[in-house]
A and B are shown apart, each in its own frame.
Chain A
Amino acid sequence: MRQWLRRLTRRNEPYIFLVLLALCLLIEVRSGQFFTANNLVDIASAMVVPGLFALGIYMVIVSGGIDVSFPALASLTSYATTKYLLDAGYTGGIWLPMAMSLVMGAALGAVNGVFIGFFGLPAMIVTLGTSSVFKGLMQGALNSVQLAVIPEGMRQFGTDALFVATNPVSGLSSRMPVSFLIFAAVVLLVFFLMRYTYFGRGIYAMGGNEVSAHRAGFHTRRTKFFLYVIVGMIASAAGLIRTCMMQQNHPTNMLGMEMNIIAGVVLGGTAITGGAGSVTGCMLGTLLIVIVENSMILIGIPTVWKSVFVGALIVIGTGVSAMQVVRANRLAANRNLTQEAAKA
């Protein structure tokens, strides 16, 4: 038990969880509205799209890379899908749009993958470039404008509810979107992939030290390539879900989301240098950001001070995470020293 506790205190997730809990209590005290059924459903529903993005970027950061192109990628694939199906007069369900988005997402992710995996170019530069290209394709080639109407099947999917939570006091009701199931499935999938597969272990190994990983027998190039393909697919699914939930497609409305998503992932204890991080931490960090962004009014922070509050939280949160890493390293170093001393 004590050992278990000690191990727990060395991890990052418990601290994030405590910060999260404190924040929730603060909101509850200030508004009396946090722990109501409808508010919790609102948070869950607001978590779907950022959560999906976070899962993708989490894998990339663990591999020692970075991806800033995912909002542009998601915008492009969701716009192209919606526009094409609208023009074609599509009336079917969500499956075809989802399949189209995933195929396009995989193809665009593969572009990142080829440059980063096979040509070994810096991920930051490549994804900055492709981000610009994706935006350009959307605005130039597809002549993007706001689509006020989306195919009926997509709209249906976006407004369908697993259940509706109603607040007995205020009478406000909130829908738990069906897309939450997709989000949950992807969480499990990524968890399994990162923890129990050769591919996932390769991502961790690569993030720790790419040369060692290669020498140890991991196909680093191939792993990187498929990593970006998978991230492209997750991002495109998120983009489509966002369009369905909004019942509209604003082509530029996701651009700029990358910063807060990356902040959430790092906040959750994923080492920005790669090699360390957990799905649990990544989800906690993202949840923290989502709750903060959607509770400013509930807490009663004046609009003009909002950015200061969010920014401060990111700095404090990542600071805690970084200190944990430093502490863990020091502990490891000490252990090595004592082992050396014991040997000598």
Chain B
Amino acid sequence: MRKLLALLLAAALTLSLGAALAQENWEIVVVPKDASNPWFVRMKVGVDEYAKETGLNLYQKGTPEIDATLQAQLVQDLIAQGVDAICVVPVNPESLEPVLKQAMDAGIVVIAHEGASLTNVNYDIEAFSNSGYGAFIMDNLAEAMGGEGLYTTMVAHVTNASHNEWADGGVARQKEAYPNMTLLEAEPRVESEDNGDVAYNKAKELFKKYPDLKGIMGTSSYDAPGIARAIEELGLQGKVFTSGTGMPAANKAILDSGIVKSLTLWDPALAGKAMAALAVKVLKGEEITAPVDLGVEGYTALTFKAGSDKVLEGQGWVVITKDNVDSFGF
């Protein structure tokens, strides 16, 4: 009985403490997949910057390693602390659902990123729609190719949903905006198996069989670097081109040497800011109707994903060239 009383008292205390704090100085916590991955270190840069700009009690807290169980524990701890909003990048969306439900039940605002399948959240922010990102890669490839010539697309596997949606989006964009470009009908989509060496060998084969091929649109982050290696070795620099997803630091060499003019990516720092901004909007009780303007670059006209009232998609892609490759820190 005394135990129960103590527990109730403790609960009441935390609640009142939470309520007292919860006027303007909301406590907003960003929980990444882990704390040491350069991707999330970059996210922390954005979060800290946003905290400074807005004066919010906003900070990022991650587990030492990527582990769904540790992440769930961390979220539970934050619920117990009575924070006002949790912005989370789930390691494993399914296993996090029950914990997020606890958070929602406790009246905490939950914003997710890269967790479009989650149901126990207020909103989930995706950096972009898959077709929009594909169109963006195509714009970069078309610019390198001078808007003309034969091209094809490369995905990790033809069964990979997002890569194929990107590739479809790219092809659709070409059809609508670049009439002088043509898709290689004989091999419209090749596989890199998420392996730089396979991407390299496939590219070599393509260039041998189709001498007119002028560009390859990569999707997986191994595609463009592998294709670039083939371009360099075959002596095709300046004649054929590639663009696609790529990490800045890993691809500094091929960007600097000019084999690849531009790569595409989304910036985790901006995603961190966007989550925090949306959390503030929800805490303020503002109505969230599309298009949502979060005042963060690339997240100024978020729209709901078709058929969803939780998943918001932005235009949060960035282009990496040799001029800005050093500015990301990952």
Tell me the chain A residues, 227-263 only, with Cβ under 8 Å from chain B. Answer: 242, 246-248, 250, 253
A341 at the interface (CB under 8 A from B): no
* Residues of chain B with a CB closer than 8 A to A148's CB: 247, 249-253
* Residues of chain B with a CB closer than 8 A to A175's CB: 233
B56 at the interface (CB under 8 A from A): no
Per the bound structure, the CA–CA distance linking A209 and B187 in Å amounts to: 50
- The chain B residue sitting closest to A302, CB to CB, is B187
* Residues of chain A with a CB closer than 8 A to B234's CB: 38, 172-174
Given A172-B234, A174-B233, A174-B234, A298 and B250 contact (CB-CB distance below 8 Å): no
Most chain B CB within 10 A, of A248, A253, A297, is at A297
Residues A253 and B197 in contact, CB atoms below 8 Å apart = yes
Query: How many whole Å from A251's CB to the nearest CB in chain B?
Result: 12
Residues A303 and B201 in contact, CB atoms below 8 Å apart = no
Encode B186-222 as 1/0 by CB contact (under 8 A) with A: 1101110001110011101111110100000000001
Interface size on A, residues (CB 8 A): 34
Tell me the chain A residues, 166-203 only, with Cβ under 8 Å from chain B. Answer: 166, 170-175
Given A148-B249, A248-B196, A253-B196, A46 and B208 contact (CB-CB distance below 8 Å): no
B158 at the interface (CB under 8 A from A): yes
Per the bound structure, the CA–CA distance linking A253 and B234 in Å amounts to: 23
B236 at the interface (CB under 8 A from A): yes
Per the bound structure, the CA–CA distance linking A170 and B213 in Å amounts to: 12
Residues B209 and A33 in contact, CB atoms below 8 Å apart = yes
Residues A42 and B204 in contact, CB atoms below 8 Å apart = yes
- The chain B residue sitting closest to A36, CB to CB, is B208
Residues B191 and A247 in contact, CB atoms below 8 Å apart = no
A18 at the interface (CB under 8 A from B): no
Residues B208 and A172 in contact, CB atoms below 8 Å apart = yes
* Residues of chain B with a CB closer than 8 A to A5's CB: none
* Residues of chain A with a CB closer than 8 A to B208's CB: 31, 33, 36, 38-39, 42, 170, 172, 298
A295 at the interface (CB under 8 A from B): yes
Residues B250 and A31 in contact, CB atoms below 8 Å apart = no
Tell me the chain A residues, 141-180 only, with Cβ under 8 Å from chain B. Answer: 146, 148-149, 166, 170-175
A334 at the interface (CB under 8 A from B): no
Query: How many whole Å from B203's CB to the nearest CB in chain A?
Result: 10
B229 at the interface (CB under 8 A from A): yes
Given A172-B236, A253-B197, A303 and B191 contact (CB-CB distance below 8 Å): yes
* Residues of chain A with a CB closer than 8 A to B285's CB: none
* Residues of chain A with a CB closer than 8 A to B202's CB: 297
* Residues of chain A with a CB closer than 8 A to B236's CB: 172
Residues A246 and B209 in contact, CB atoms below 8 Å apart = no
A304 at the interface (CB under 8 A from B): yes
Residues A303 and B250 in contact, CB atoms below 8 Å apart = no
Per the bound structure, the CA–CA distance linking A323 and B9 in Å amounts to: 80
Query: How many whole Å from A275's CB to the nearest CB in chain B?
Result: 34
Residues A31 and B209 in contact, CB atoms below 8 Å apart = yes
* Residues of chain A with a CB closer than 8 A to B251's CB: 148
Closest 6 CB pairs of A and B: A148-B250, A297-B205, A173-B235, A172-B234, A33-B208, A170-B211
Can you name 18 extra interface pairs (CB under 8 A) apart from A38-B234, A174-B204, A253-B196? Answer: A36-B208, A42-B208, A46-B201, A172-B235, A173-B235, A242-B197, A246-B200, A246-B229, A248-B250, A253-B197, A296-B205, A297-B187, A297-B205, A297-B206, A300-B186, A300-B209, A303-B190, A304-B158
List 23 A-B pairs, Cβ < 8 Å. Answer: A31-B209, A38-B234, A39-B208, A42-B204, A42-B208, A148-B250, A148-B251, A148-B252, A172-B207, A172-B234, A172-B236, A173-B233, A173-B235, A246-B200, A246-B229, A247-B229, A248-B196, A293-B201, A294-B201, A297-B202, A298-B205, A300-B186, A302-B187
